[in-house]
Amino acid sequence: MQEIERDDDLGWLVGTLDRILGVQRPLVVNHLRSLRRKHPELSPAQVIERLKKQYLAAVTSGGAAVGATAVAPGIGTAAALGLTVAETVGFLEASAFFAQAVTEVHGIHVEDPERAKALVMGLMLGSGGKALVKRVAEQSMGRGAAGSAFWGELVTSRMPTGMMGQVVDFLRRAFLKRMARNTGASMLGRALPFGIGAVVGGVGNHILGRQIVQAAREAFGPPPVAFDASLAPVVHEVRPSLGERISEARAIEREGLGGGLRRLRQRRADVPPVDEDLPLEDSAPPAPRGTDGAETDGGRG
């Protein structure tokens, strides 16, 4: 397959990234709260380790599945290309979710889509993304201010908002070139005989995923010793079943109004307050797609 050389050929990836990051933070925060509710003993470092394992498992299995399917009998070149595009989007979604989850654990709340986009592209570029962010930060903030911070903090909170457009433009060009090379190599790997293509797809995604994990570690430094208050787990109210409600209604009918009021006061005393607007599920990170979020600067909570 001929390697894609023009930025416009993969411009759809930037649009995809915009849609993904528009609704990521609420999903990320809910996932982290769910994780803490089910595993309250985990420290921030242990939560990041669990996020890493979830992320690597997701991208590795996705690459292997597409690698096996793309070379199956009856799958043409166009279909194989479509599978590779779908897998690229899936990898991007998982990487964006992982990046923002690590950011939240470090107490940085990224609600500005431009900052979130710069973070994800910078992580996927590895050392090249780090160097680019540092260079632009030194130009706008001075060598002393930029040199004393981790680059993840610079791009998510400390760099002036007016500089983010320039940072995103630089990162976008480098990101699209990197993705063009990776997509071409991915298609070549999946042209191998059935079975081998699956191994190449899975191993390739695992290697790239580990590079992103390492880049996230370098972007923010050591994990904090405590969680930010925004990640406090939410306690669910245990709701009675239909049969229990019917039985209670019959009991209230027998006891009269006074008995019903006593039951209501007892229930209020037994059940802690909950936030009904924050449903939680302890599941693997979803593949979010949505609209752009609010454009406000993120900062440490």
Q: What is the pLDDT of residue 234?
A: 72
What are the tokens at 161?
A: 């908002």
Higher pLDDT residue, 183 or 27?
Answer: 27
The reply to whether 119 and 103 lie within a common domain is yes
% of residues, the chain, pLDDT over 70: 53
Helix ranges (DSSP H) in the chain: 11-22, 24-38, 44-70, 77-105, 113-125, 127-141, 143-147, 151-153, 164-190, 196-220, 242-270
The reply to whether 58 and 197 lie within a common domain is yes
Q: Let me know if residue 41 belongs to a domain.
A: yes
What confidence category does residue 52 fall into, taking pLDDT thresholds of 50, 70 and 90? very high
What's the structural domain count of the chain? 2
Ramachandran region of residue 126, left (φ > 0), alpha (ψ -120 to 50) or beta?
A: left
Q: Angle CA(17)–CA(108)–CA(235) in degrees, nearest 5?
A: 95
What confidence category does residue 227 fall into, taking pLDDT thresholds of 50, 70 and 90? very high
Q: What is the pLDDT of residue 82?
A: 45
Domain span holding position 21 = 7-233
Is the overall model pTM greater than 0.75, yes or no? Answer: no
Q: Cα 276 to chain center, whole Å?
A: 23
Q: What is the pLDDT of residue 165?
A: 85
The reply to whether 197 and 256 lie within a common domain is no
SS3 of residue 109 by DSSP? strand
Choice among 115-119, 169-173, 198-202, 245-249 with the minimum mean pLDDT: 198-202
CA 1 – CA 123 distance, rounded (Å): 27
Higher pLDDT residue, 278 or 103?
Answer: 103
What are the tokens at 40?
A: 């309250």
Instruction: Kindly tell me if the per-residue pLDDT of 262 is higher than 80.
Output: no
The reply to whether 88 and 226 lie within a common domain is yes
What confidence category does residue 42 fall into, taking pLDDT thresholds of 50, 70 and 90? very high
- Residue 137: phi and psi, rounded to 5, are -65, -40
